[in-house]
Amino acid sequence: MFKQYFIQTLAQIKQHRLISVITIVATALSIFLIMLVVMMEQVKVAPFSPESNRDRFLHVRYASIGNKEWGDGTSNGPMSLIAAKTLYKSIESAEAITTYCAIVLPMPVSLPGQPLNVADVRETDEVYWRVFDFRFIEGRPYDEAAVESHLPQAVVTQSMARTIFGTDQDLVGQEFQVNFTTCKVVGVVKDVSTLATHAYGQIWIPYGTVTFNITENRDKLMGWVSVTILAKDRADFPVIREEAKRRMDEYNVVLEERGYYYIDRNRPYTQEKDAVGKAANFEPDLHAAHRSKWTIFLILLIVPAINLSSMTQSRLKQRTSEIGVRRAFGCTRSELLWQIIIENMIITFVAGFIGLLLSMCACWSFAAYFFAEPMSDTLNEATVDASVLMHYSTFGYALLFCFVLNLLSSGIPALRASRLRIVNALTGKH
């Protein structure tokens, strides 16, 4: 049966080449635009190395504090190290918790006596390497002893290793300068996309090694630190949040004499909620973000569907005599309806595959434009990982949108065609 549908569809394409080509091109462009939007959203939540566990991440990128003297005013931004450890580091229900510099800092790097280069440097603790799954080419990450002792050790990316040393091989133990401090290479990792917001960097060092941004002023509440919590399972999220809230309430009792208090804002956030957040002074509205996203999808589906529906109707008008003959020889309305829908679905899926390939090529070629992070100060341009573009969910969305677009564009014309009276169809009347 399906083989017959394919044969009939191919015959219809050959018979009405112009309309068929226009239909395929229009459908391909529609799927291209939809998938472009999907991929721009997907890179924010889809797992890829070194953020392969995004489905188990909870982030506290920023914190919020108030003061009795400020009224409704608040201070919002990254936490101090002591606050991050007090509020989140000791949560027992999590698998691992890392504290790290909320942003990458551009720092001068070089070999002694060589010209300076600039690299994106991130300061972290040792748990960072358990939470994020970096791909080590050689060596290993620095350990707890290095962090506690502020040993000048560094993990570098392949491309930065080539920039500094001229090679990415046999570098463990080699020394170079970061911010004019001599550091020893302990590991080399594959390059990381800037889209891995929390894991991105070109060089990673223990905090307090070459700067005192994170470790100084231990009595402060705000600073440079963000926190990522790796849960054992998504089902543990409510337990982790409850424990975090309890610790915040306890800490606020300690801070009461100073007049300060931390504001919860329902932190920590999932990967999706963290990606939606635009500022630290209010909680991201995930429901509004979903409504906005699906509204865009509907517009991108309905507008081309209306145009494609008129093309389908035009093509069916040229087949009224064929429809009449088939009805005269016993073809039922339901059989006729499904044949027309399936014929259009074949065309839609072919066009959808073309549109999907176009969107992948566009995302790959123009990643710096489509995936640029707002207010980003990274030295690298945005790059997109192939594993994200070829993620199974991408194909699932493409199939879903092709199916919906086909129903919207061919359903009504097919229903009208199936209801034609046999005599009217044979005589060409509509």
Q: What are the two backbone dihedrals, phi and then psi, of residue 78, each rounded to the nearest 5 degrees?
A: -60, 155
CB 51 within 8 A of CB 43: no
- CA separation (Å) from 349 to 97, 270, 300? 45, 34, 17
Task: Take residue 293 and report the two structure tokens written for it.
Answer: 């996203």
As a whole number of angstroms, the distance between CA 51 and CA 48 comes to: 5
The residues spanned by each domain of the chain are 2-48+287-427, 62-276
Q: What is the pLDDT of residues 199-249, one digit of tens each?
A: 999 999 999 888 776 766 656 888 899 999 999 999 999 999 999 999 999
pLDDT in tens, 335-381: 766 777 777 777 777 888 888 888 888 887 777 677 766 656 666 66
pTM to 2 decimals?
0.81
Torsion of CA 368, 372, 377, 380, to 10 degrees: -30
The confidence score (pLDDT) of residue 349 equals 78
Neighbours of 110 (CB within 10 A): 17
Mean pLDDT of 150-155: 94
For residues 48 and 133, the answer to whether their CB atoms sit within 8 Å is: no
* C-beta separation of 237 from 231 below 8 A: yes
**For position 30, what pLDDT does the model report?**
81
Within 10 angstroms of residue 200's Cβ, the number of other Cβ atoms is 24
Residue 37 pLDDT class (50, 70, 90 cuts): confident
Judge whether residue 419 has pLDDT over 80: no
Q: Tens of pLDDT along 259-318?
A: 899 999 999 999 999 998 877 888 999 899 889 888 888 887 777 777 777 666 666 665
Instruction: Report the relative pairing of strands 57-60 and 260-263 from DSSP bridges.
Output: unpaired
pLDDT over threshold 60, residue 428 = no
* Mean pLDDT estimate for the chain: 83
- Residue 272: both structure tokens together: 């999706």
